[in-house]
Structure 1
Amino acid sequence: MTDLATAVEYGHVEPITVYFDDLDAMGIVHNARYAVLLERAVTPYWTERGHYFDHNGPSTPDLFHAVREFAITYHRPIRGAGEVHVHFWLNHLGETSAEYGFRFHSPDATVVYAEGRRAIVRLDPATMRPTPWTESARAVASTLLR
């Protein structure tokens, strides 16, 4: 974890790597890749806290969720491959849903590339209907609340 990650007032900052295949023909991160880059940031946070996928499947039922909404505003392009930091947090944790806020920025936090929000809904695998988060997920999620 970086010094910046420990300095935020809420949420978490995760350094991620932008790879060559994340770039478009102009050498900037393709707009559609931001959702994937956000996953690269959020996944290690939850994995380190016991919520992960492996060869046995999901470690908890909370990993069966779907993105309901993804909204992003682009401020400046991320040019080329390399390290970018993602600051993410939870704006809201409901009975069956959650809303993340996020910001992509330079490692020194002086440039904000993009920011937005992502809403997710936990689903029952049998019915595909919303179902409540477990206490384990609520405990981890509470560490991200703004």
Structure 2
Amino acid sequence: MNQGPSVDHGHLQPMFVHFDDLDQMGMVHNTRYGVLVERALTLFWDSHGYGFGNGKLGHPDASVGVAEFAISYKAPIIGTGAVYVHLTVDHIGSTSVGYTFRVLSAEGAVHAEGRRVHIRLDPKTFRPTPWAEETRAIYKTLSAG
């Protein structure tokens, strides 16, 4: 994959569209955009030690629930190949975080954009619980300011 589009903040995650992501018209199926975002977040957090290996969370703050997921489709992705997911954070609460995302072509064209909210859940009680300071610091690296 090439270097991808230029972004001024957040994280740009290279992804690849596979043949099984396509619908009968050769476009990425609408449900696969959510999978691209999910996988981009997984790759980002795994690189910070927040993965799920050997059946265990890499960090307690990896225990999250999705409270909101919204996506708007702008232009179809036709065929297989490189795409990029641009992840940013627009809100960091005591137990929640709001991401914004864009699915981009290598040239920077927007294929889809949206928002996703995670709630930090205690892995034993499944009740909201505050983020650790090190997690908040990582979220701040995805913020504009």
Q: What do residues 58-97 of structure 1 show as CA deviations (whole Å, max 9, x unaligned)?
A: 1101111011111111011111111101111001111000
Contact 1:102 1:116 in 2 (8 A): yes
1:80 equivalent in alignment to 2:84 = no
Residue correspondences, number = 144
Specify the alignment match of 1:17 in structure 2: 16
Write the mapping of 1:1-146 to structure 2, written as runs, cut at 5 A: 3-4=3-4, 7-109=6-108, 111-146=109-144
- Deviation string, structure 1 residues 121-145 (Cα, Å, up to 9, x no partner): 0111222211111122112111011
CA shift digits 1:102-123 (9 cap, x unpaired) = 11111121x2101111011011
Deviation of residue 3 (structure 1)?
4.4
Which ranges of 4 or more aligned residues in structure 1 deviate by more than 4 Å? 1-5
Deviation, 1:100, is: 0.4
Q: Which runs of 5+ in 1 are unaligned?
A: none
Unaligned runs of 5+ in 2: none
Indicate the SS of the match to 2:45.
helix
SS of aligned partner of 1:79: coil
TM-score (ref. length: structure 2): 0.91
**TM-score in terms of structure 1 length:** 0.91
